[in-house]
Structure 1
């Protein structure tokens, strides 16, 4: 089976990604700091028939992250999809300051085009909203399950280097 490694896995987007990729016969390697949270996430995915296992790592420590990904590779055979979205805290950015140039689209496009020649797809999902099923009134939000579907579509269609949401 193919495998997705979700770095920064949590109960919102990480869980939703695990469910949608798991429904398409992917094994799921969950990477996060907390072993307890990983066990809870893996058990929740198992309830949906998804084969998942957690690998603890501090993404700020390259050796720790490398060890977790190596352990996931040893467990599942290889990693076919790498999703990297660790939560680093909420950073306030005023809407007038959020422009496409801030997202480094040139780098994303170069990475996308360069790796395509090697059969590797690289895509970026830029989310300019709270990822939540119940955001406070007045805040732009996208539900984790809806966002996970966008990731799946981007992965399977492989047509663009960047997807900005909400559109």
Structure 2
């Protein structure tokens, strides 16, 4: 039976790289993104490569829309075998100083990297646990363990997400449902962030070295995590 991967927060970077890698292995790809036009374009791009895909537009910071997307995917493709949460914040959502962090500017990071991953898990995990198989994949960055004041509010949210994922992995041991977190310390090829930084290099602190990696390479990392299932976390591009 053909398996399905649902990619929440599908973009031209991490989402496309992951969708392409799993699609080459025979997975159907459910594209979940906030912008309907972009979601349908991603589907067209995948279809052009011979990958079965469909768009399910949804704002992932809205629990009702996320759950509705899960229902629509299940109705069209059947059970979700792999759910990957790859949604990211815009550069404009960051706060350049820890002293400036407050409840207001934590709202978006928490919605995107804590609440939304939890909603995804609660929407898809029960069916996976009932079947005794499945995978929950998450994406993170470096600012939770490598303090970067110019990403201060982001780091707070990523720290909370990491703790949630690690706890989830412990709780689901032995159930057949794998939990994996890819900590990404690189600028992702073809991503919106790469385009913004290339157009506005002043958006990052002077002297900060940016390591780049293609979206296909990151898709390969997720595939290895999914198939090997031997680690909860994998770090890519972290400073030595």
TM-score (norm 1): 0.88
Whose Rg is larger?
Answer: 2
**Structure 2 contact 5–28 (Cα < 8 Å) conserved:** yes
Quote the Cα distance in structure 2 between the aligned partners of 1:38 and 1:58. Answer: 12
Poorly superposed stretches of 4+, deviation over 2 Å: 90-96, 101-110, 133-138
**Correspondence for 2:85:** 84
**Structure 2 contact 14–86 (Cα < 8 Å) conserved:** no
> In structure 2, the residue corresponding to 1:49 is in which secondary structure?
coil
> In structure 2, the residue corresponding to 1:154 is in which secondary structure?
helix
User: Which residue of 125, 132, 137 corresponds with 2:182?
Assistant: 125
**Structure 1 contact 133–142 (Cα < 8 Å) conserved:** no
- Structure 1 residues without counterparts, runs of 5 or longer: none
> In structure 2, the residue corresponding to 1:6 is in which secondary structure?
strand
- Structure 2 residues without counterparts, runs of 5 or longer: 97-142, 149-155, 202-208
- The equivalences for 1:1-167 within 5 A come to 1-90=2-91, 91=94, 97=147, 103=159, 107-132=164-189, 138-166=209-237
TM-score (norm 2): 0.63
Single out whichever of 23-32 and 123-132 deviates more from structure 2: 123-132
Give the helix-richer structure, 1 or 2.
Answer: 2
Summarize deviations over 1:10-69 as a string: whole Å, max 9, x none.
112111111110111100000001111111100110111100000010011000111011
> In structure 2, the residue corresponding to 1:123 is in which secondary structure?
strand
Taking only aligned residues, the RMSD between alpha carbons, in angstroms, comes to: 2.5
